[in-house]
Structure 1
C-alpha cells in the first residue's frame, strides 16, 4: 500500500486541507461516519443559530416579525435567493427561495410549457428522478396531451449514463421544452449544461435543469449559459434540514413573464397588501412564488449559506473532487476482488459529488455498513451511493469507511441481513 492509501496519508491530506476547519462548525456524531450528505446534509451550528433567531423573532415580535425581526420574514426569500445566487452564477433578481423542488417544477412547467402547432412534446431522460417525470406527466395531461406520445425520454446506452449527443439528437421540431438533471441521481454523471443549452436554443427550445445533485457541490454559470430555468432542493449539499425549502432560477430574459401558477406571494412586494383581485406580479424571480414562505424551514438556510459562501463554491468543488478521487482510489486498492463496480464517471468534469458502487448484495451491505456506524445511501436495485461532503468529511473518514467496508466483505457480516431495501432506503 502506498503512503497516500494509508491512514498516515489520509491524515497528511487533512493537515493540508484549507477547508478542514469547517468540520468543527457541524454537529458530527463521534460514533458515525456520515456519507449520505447527497440525501440529507448535516446540521451546522450556523444553521441552528439562524433558525433560533427566527424563533426568537416570533417570540419577541409576534406578527411584527415579518418586518421588525433580526431576520425579517417578508423579504427572507429574496435575501436567501441573493445568497444562493453566488453558488449558481445568477443575478439576485433571477433567484428565489420558495416551495419544494417538485412544486417549483410544476410552476416552471406551467409557465414555460406552451404547446402549439407541432411543438407539443417535452424531452427528458430515461434515468431522471421519478418525481420529475410525474410532474411532466401531470402537466401534459393538464394540457389534454398523452404522456405516452408527448413525453420523450432519451434512453441510456448502458443503464447508468446519458450521452449528451443522444440528448441533442433527440431535439426535433416537435419538442417544446426540455427538462434534465444537472447530475444523474444514481450514477452521479454530470451533464454538460452549457453544451446542451446551446443546442436546445439553436432549435428554439426552452430548457431547464433540476440541480438537486449539483447545487452546493459544483459551480454553475446559469446566467452566462443562458439556461431558461432551474429548480433545486436545499436539504442535500446546502444543509438546510429535512424538507428544507426549495429554490428556483429564471433567466432575466424571462423576467416579467406572468407565472403559470399565481398566488399571493407572486405579487410585487409594495403592492401585495393592496389586496387587489388583479395580480400585479413581481418583475423578478419572486413572481414565481405562490404561497406564504415557510419561515422556519427557510431560516436554517441563512446560516448554512453563510458557511457555503465563506468557503467558496470553487474551493468546495476542488475538495469534493479530491475526496471522491481518493475514495475511488481506495476502493480499487482494497475492494476489486469483492464484486464491486464503480459506475460513476471517473473524469472530474463528468462527475458530481458522490460515488456510485454497484454490487449484487448492495441492500444488505448498506445495512451492514449502518451496523458498523457508516451511513451510506442505497438505490434499488443494486446501488450504494457514497458522498463525502467537502465541509465536514475528512480524508481520514473516507479511509475508515473503505476499511470498514473491506472488513464487512472479508467477514461476510452482510449475510445476516436480507438483500431487500427498507421502506425508507
Structure 2
C-alpha cells in the first residue's frame, strides 16, 4: 500500500470500492454524521445480533422454563454451541472453548485451577503493561494462597513504556515461576506478543502459560491448539460485537481436560448428570467444566448473530483488511499530522501490530473531547494515548481519511484548548 498511497479522498473512496468486506458495513447500526473509532472498547450492534437477542427473548415469552430445551436456540446448550462457533477464531477444537463468565471471573477460575505452587515454584509472572483487572485478580489469588503479591507477582518491565520484549519475558522465566499470564495484545500500544515462542519457552521450563485475548479475538487469527497454549480467556464485547457486558469466553487445552476446576459450580457439570442434583460434582469432560453459574442467556444471545457474521467474513479476511486500513491510517497521520506533536505508539511491523492505532499526544484527553464534539468517537487512555480503531467489518477508508482531516483542523484551529486535559469518568 505504501507504494500506491495517495492522501486524497478519491483514493480512500477507491480503496472502499475494492474492499471485499464492504457489504458487511450494512449489517451494523451506524449513526449518521458520526464516525465510530472505538470498536476496540465496545463494538457496534449488528442487525443480526439484535435479531438473535429478540429470538431468544421470544423463546422466553413462548416457552417459559421450557426454553432451556426448546426453541431455535435452547438455552441449556447455548454456551457450548457458541463455543463451537467461536473456536475457529482462536484456533481450537469446539470442545476446548466455552462461552461463559467474564474476563475477570474466567481469569480467577483458570488461575484457581492451574496455579499449583510447589517447592520453589510459587510465583506468577505477568507484565507491567497489562490491563489492571488481570493484575488485581492475580494479586488476590496470591493473597488467597497466603503469598505476598509484592514478592510473588513478578511483572516484566517495558523498556520504553509501550511494548514488552519477548526476550525480557523469557529471561524472567526462572525456576521459581509456577504460572505465566500475559496479554495476546497490549491494550495500550496494540503490540502483539509472540504467543507461540513464549509458549514454547515456558514449556521448556515446565511452566504453564495462559493468555488474555480481550484485545485480539475477532481482530487477529490465533492458533491456540497448534501452539499448545495451556489456556486463554477473553471478553466478547470489543471486536466480536457481543454487546455491553457480553458474556466472556475461555479456552482450555484438551491436554488439561480432567483437571478439576479450581472454582466449581453446577454449570460445569457433565450435561447428563447436572440435573441429578447430587452433592458429588461430575465435571464436564471438555472446557465446559470451567463454567461456574447459570449462563446469562440474554447477554449471550447477541453473539449468535455476531458470530454468524464472522463465519461468513472469515478471520483471515478481517485481519488482512485490518492491517491494510491501519497502515493507510498511519500513512495519513505521518503525512498530515507529523508536525503537530503526534507520535504513533504502536509497532509498525504487521506481525507485531493488533487492531488499533495508538496515537500519542501530550494533549490527548482534550483532543479526544474535541473529536467527540466533531462527531468522531475515539478512546482515551491516560496519560497521553488516543486509541483509534478502524474495524474491518464496518469502518471505511473514507472515514479514516475524514478522521485525519478533522484532527488536522482541531490542531490548526486549537479547538481542543476549550477543554480540560483530563479524562471523563468513563474514558
Q: TM-score, normalised by structure 2?
A: 0.99
Inter-partner Cα distance in structure 1 for 2:133 and 2:167: 25
Structure 1 unpaired stretches of 5+? none
Give the aligned partner of residue 216 of structure 1: 218
Inter-partner Cα distance in structure 2 for 1:197 and 1:408: 45
Q: Deviations over 1:313-361 (max 9, x none)?
A: 0000000001110100000010001000001000000000001011000
Give the aligned partner of residue 257 of structure 2: 255
Inter-partner Cα distance in structure 1 for 2:411 and 2:311: 40
After superposing the two structures, state which structure 1 stretch, 325-334 or 3-12, moved more.
3-12
Question: Is 1:72 equivalent to 2:99 in the alignment?
Answer: no
Question: Is 1:324 equivalent to 2:326 in the alignment?
Answer: yes
Alignment of 1:314-393 (within 5 A): 314-393=316-395
Inter-partner Cα distance in structure 1 for 2:147 and 2:285: 31
1:6 shift after superposition: 0.5
Inter-partner Cα distance in structure 2 for 1:165 and 1:30: 47
Q: 2:148 aligns with which of 143, 146, 149?
A: 146
Give the aligned partner of residue 418 of structure 1: 420
Give the aligned partner of residue 41 of structure 1: 43
Q: 1:135 aligns with which of 137, 141, 144?
A: 137
Inter-partner Cα distance in structure 2 for 1:296 and 1:326: 38
Give the aligned partner of residue 59 of structure 1: 61
1:256 shift after superposition: 1.3
Structure 2 unpaired stretches of 5+? none
1:5 shift after superposition: 1.5
Give the aligned partner of residue 119 of structure 1: 121
Q: Deviations over 1:338-385 (max 9, x none)?
A: 000001000000000001011000000000000000000000011000
Alignment of 1:152-163 (within 5 A): 152-163=154-165
1:3 shift after superposition: 6.4
Q: Deviations over 1:93-143 (max 9, x none)?
A: 000000000000000000000001100000000100000000000000010
Question: Is 1:168 equivalent to 2:191 in the alignment?
Answer: no
Inter-partner Cα distance in structure 2 for 1:86 and 1:423: 37
Q: TM-score, normalised by structure 1?
A: 0.99
1:307 shift after superposition: 0.2
Q: Secondary structure at the match of 1:223?
A: helix
1:309 shift after superposition: 0.9
Give the aligned partner of residue 110 of structure 1: 112
Inter-partner Cα distance in structure 1 for 2:325 and 2:68: 42
Give the aligned partner of residue 16 of structure 1: 18
Q: Secondary structure at the match of 2:69?
A: helix
1:4 shift after superposition: 2.3
Question: Is 1:276 equivalent to 2:281 in the alignment?
Answer: no
Is residue 100–residue 295 contact of structure 2 (8 Å, CA) maintained in 1?
yes
Q: Secondary structure at the match of 1:297?
A: helix
1:250 shift after superposition: 0.1
Give the aligned partner of residue 295 of structure 1: 297
Is residue 5–residue 328 contact of structure 2 (8 Å, CA) maintained in 1?
no
Q: Secondary structure at the match of 1:324?
A: helix
Inter-partner Cα distance in structure 1 for 2:220 and 2:204: 26
Q: Secondary structure at the match of 1:381?
A: coil
Inter-partner Cα distance in structure 2 for 1:86 and 1:302: 14
Give the aligned partner of residue 243 of structure 1: 245
1:205 shift after superposition: 0.1
Q: Secondary structure at the match of 2:60?
A: helix
Inter-partner Cα distance in structure 1 for 2:288 and 2:261: 10
Give the aligned partner of residue 183 of structure 2: 181
1:70 shift after superposition: 1.1
Q: Secondary structure at the match of 2:410?
A: helix
Q: 1:409 aligns with which of 384, 387, 411?
A: 411
Inter-partner Cα distance in structure 2 for 1:377 and 1:243: 18
Task: Number of aligned residue pairs: give it.
Answer: 425
Question: Is 1:25 equivalent to 2:22 in the alignment?
Answer: no
Q: Deviations over 1:61-80 (max 9, x none)?
A: 00000001111000000000
